[in-house]
RNA sequence: GGCGAGGUAGCUCAGUCGGUUAGAGCACUGGCUUCAUAAGCCAGGUGUCGCGGGUUCGAGUCCCGCCCUCGCUACCA
């Protein structure tokens, strides 16, 4: 048994979760966790909201809410989406509410400081007297010194593409209130990434196994590492430890610094709740633990460079990431998901009309694993109808309804003289069989989804070749053996389905008359001739019902029309 | 600008170490079947592998140049 600590990127508590986020970082992680658990691994799945930072204070001010209320609202709303989709964390928390978070973040700061990885520096920055805050680059707008474009941002001019510094902008204004900011000097702490890379990070990364997109990005970044500020002048966040602030007040840890520490804080929170307060160390400070970060590609720098640098720099034997299966971006019907342009699928409406398990499966079969991909309603319909309803759902009903009619709704008997022949037929002659878990472990979820459908399709071939409805008249014993084989196969299918379609898998499990939770059954792997059957003959089957609803063309057209109507209205 | 990823059948994509005639699913057509949610099975066609050059006995695959799409570009998180 191997120990795994799995994380999904902490979603920023400043807006809704959409299917793009789900496909990028949450659903694959959930499937990975469920699969490993069925395979007997020790897995902890940690997530929570990222709740600090200036964007949140601005959002809360705009809505007249306290920061705490504002992030709590998004925290709860995001959790509701995860619940709908069956994404189950062992702990879901938030960086502003997790009890250990403040102390732990400050401890990271102190230890990095003690170990010589922090640099203090005083610089001039723009300060808005109206909003009483220093302005981050993107919160300053002004006139571009290069092309005179009036809408230039503090970091870049969108017109000529020049890299800017806010201090270079002509007629700078605060993006929030329009006031002209003044220059003030301020002292901050910087993380010495260059030194951390020199001492350990480069070697560590070079020895790892990474997806091509991750390796390429990080190797470029490692060539030219600058120090990064880790503090900010504001009130919302984890305060810089008083014993290190040197009299400075009003400074907090910069949100990118405290956010990933949330993974650790939340693990500690989980351990406390379990009544084993030291158990978090098993996951974070045991060299054999495999730390897996599921993220979108925009987060590669943090999870493969900055956070590992922090984990190593505190010299507390923290494990560094083992794999970072960063996904590309997921779009919607040809365009980017966009809250501001109303280009999205309102999740509550979606769940009112559609089956969330089907959504899970469709998302998994279209994940942006190697390139950007997208949600297309036409493809959603195809997957829902062809792969799920026709291939998997119909397999179950064609077998089980026949048994209801002709075999008293019980698992038929396998006659010993048929076993070898039928094993050979289903295992070798009805199409290639593959273990979906192999692909899941390689982070190839699309392939795993395909394997699942292919394994079901093989049983359809088997049924057709043996035509039990004919055999029932000519050779009832052989018919029974054939249908016994089909029942067993459905049992395997239910277990193969469990990580992908947990609810449907359970429904199928119950239809077979199996007690308990299918997720508690061990992962079946691939069946081997002579030893793969386990259902007792005569076992009563459960009530047969259709597993998957079908989606007609009108429904699809209506969804696309609604999508476009929202965007234009 | 820099960096990265991608460009393969009508659509979505797979192609390992360079190796036979470039594959799968969907869609489409024909046949079979009637257990099943009008579901299932069998059979069938389709390619300037983005463009140009190079290396090689042999290139979708390796090298160089170019074109197109998307993303990142680190004090937004």
Distance CA A163, CA A150 (A): 15
The 10 Å Cβ neighbour count of residue A359 is 24
The per-residue pLDDT for A134 is 84
Compute the average pLDDT of residues A113-126. 91
Say how many residues make up chain A. 569
Cβ of A210 less than 7 A from strand B:
no
Q: Which nucleotides of B are covered by protein (CB under 7 A)?
A: 1, 3-6, 12-14, 25-27, 33-37, 39-42, 70-77
Torsion, Cα A138 A141 A143 A146, to 10 degrees, reads 0
Cβ of A114 less than 7 A from strand B:
no
Query: Do the Cβ atoms of A47 and A8 come closer than 8 Å?
Result: yes
The per-residue pLDDT for A247 is 82
Cβ of A168 less than 7 A from strand B:
no
Query: Which uninterrupted H or E stretch holds A294?
Result: strand A290-294
Beta strand A140-143 pairing with A170-174: antiparallel
Residues 392-451 of A with CB under 7 A from strand B: 393-394, 397-399, 401-402, 405, 431, 446
pLDDT band at A357 (very low <50, low <70, confident <90, very high): very high
Residue carrying the six token digits 């192999």: A438
Beta-bridged to residue A231, according to DSSP, are: A253
Compute the average pLDDT of residues A293-307. 89
Calculate the angstrom distance between C1' of B71 and CA of A328.
Answer: 8
Compute the average pLDDT of residues A488-512. 97
Specify the 3-state DSSP secondary structure of A107. helix
Paired tokens of A128: 């808005």
Report residue A189: phi and psi, to 5°.
Answer: -105, 140
Specify the 3-state DSSP secondary structure of A124. strand
Cβ of A54 less than 7 A from strand B:
yes
The per-residue pLDDT for A160 is 63
ipTM above 0.85, yes or no: yes
Specify the 3-state DSSP secondary structure of A251. strand
pLDDT over 90 for what percent of chain A?
63
The per-residue pLDDT for A219 is 80
Query: Do the Cβ atoms of A210 and A247 come closer than 8 Å?
Result: no
* CA-closest candidate to residue A562, choices A346, A335, A375, A358: A346
Calculate the angstrom distance between C1' of B51 and CA of A161.
Answer: 29
Cβ of A483 less than 7 A from strand B:
no
Calculate the angstrom distance between C1' of B9 and CA of A29.
Answer: 33
pTM of the model: 0.95
Q: How far is CA A236 from CA A51, A140, A249, A275, in A?
A: 9, 20, 13, 31
CB under 8 Å to A163, separation ≥6 — which residues?
Answer: A155, A156
* Among the ranges given (A224-228, A439-443, A545-549), the one the predictor scored with the smallest mean pLDDT: A224-228
Confidence check: pLDDT of A162 > 70? no
What's the whole-number average pLDDT of chain A? Answer: 91
Calculate the angstrom distance between C1' of B20 and CA of A451.
Answer: 28
């Amino acid at each position: 048994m191997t120990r795994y600590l799995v994380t999904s990127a902490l979603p920023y508590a400043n807006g809704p979760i959409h299917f793009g986020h789900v496909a990028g970082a949450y659903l694959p992680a959930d499937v990975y966790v469920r699969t490993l658990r069925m395979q007997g691994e020790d897995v902890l799945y940690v997530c929570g909201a990222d709740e600090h930072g200036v964007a949140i204070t601005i959002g809360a001010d705009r809505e007249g809410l306290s920061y705490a209320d504002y992030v709590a609202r998004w925290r709860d709303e995001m959790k509701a989406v995860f619940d709908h989709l069956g994404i189950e964390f062992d702990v879901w928390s938030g960086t502003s509410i997790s009890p250990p978070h403040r102390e732990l973040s400050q401890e990271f700061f102190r230890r990095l400081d003690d170990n010589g990885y922090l640099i203090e520096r005083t610089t001039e920055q723009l300060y808005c007297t109206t909003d009483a805050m220093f302005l981050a680059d993107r919160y300053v707008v002004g006139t571009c010194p290069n092309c005179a474009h009036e809408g230039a941002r503090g970091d870049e001019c969108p017109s000529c593409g020049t890299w800017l510094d806010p201090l270079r902008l002509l007629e700078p204004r605060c993006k929030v209130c329009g006031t002209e900011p003044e220059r003030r000097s301020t002292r901050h702490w910087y993380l010495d990434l260059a030194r951390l890379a020199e001492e350990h990070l480069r070697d560590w990364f070079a020895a790892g196994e990474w997806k091509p997109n991750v390796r390429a990005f990080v190797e470029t970044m490692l060539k030219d590492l600058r120090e990064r500020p880790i503090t900010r002048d504001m009130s919302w966040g984890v305060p810089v430890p008083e014993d290190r602030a040197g009299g400075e007040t009003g400074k907090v840890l910069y949100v990118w610094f405290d956010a990933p520490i949330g993974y650790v804080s939340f693990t500690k929170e989980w351990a406390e709740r379990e009544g084993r307060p030291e158990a978090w160390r098993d996951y974070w400070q045991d060299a054999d633990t495999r730390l897996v970060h599921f993220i979108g590609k925009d987060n590669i720098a943090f999870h493969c460079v900055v956070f590992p640098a922090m984990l190593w720099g505190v010299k507390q034997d923290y494990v560094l990431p083992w794999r970072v299966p960063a996904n590309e971006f997921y779009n919607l019907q040809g365009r980017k998901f966009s809250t501001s342009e109303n280009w999205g699928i309102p999740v509550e409406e979606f769940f009112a009309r559609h089956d969330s398990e089907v959504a899970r499966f469709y998302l998994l079969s279209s994940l942006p694993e190697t390139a950007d991909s997208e949600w297309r309603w036409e493809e959603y319909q195809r997957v829902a109808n062809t792969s799920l309803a026709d291939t998997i759902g119909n397999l179950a009903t064609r077998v089980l309804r026949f048994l209801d009619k002709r075999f008293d709704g019980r698992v038929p008997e396998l006659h010993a003289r048929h076993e070898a022949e039928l094993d050979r037929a289903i295992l070798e002659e009805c199409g290639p069989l593959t273990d979906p878990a192999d692909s899941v472990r390689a982070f190839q979820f699309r392939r795993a989804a395909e394997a699942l459908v292919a394994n079901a399709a093989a049983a359809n071939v088997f049924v057709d070749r043996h035509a039990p409805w004919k055999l029932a008249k000519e050779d009832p014993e052989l018919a029974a053996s054939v249908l016994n084989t089909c029942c067993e196969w459905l049992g395997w299918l239910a277990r193969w389905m469990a990580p992908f379609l947990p609810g449907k898998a359970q429904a199928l499990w119950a239809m077979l008359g199996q007690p308990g939770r299918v997720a508690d059954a061990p992962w079946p792997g691939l069946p081997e001739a002579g030893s793969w059957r386990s259902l007792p003959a005569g076992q009563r089957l459960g009530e047969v019902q259709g597993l998957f609803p079908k989606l007609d063309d009108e429904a699809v057209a209506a969804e696309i029309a609604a999508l476009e109507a929202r965007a234009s209205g």
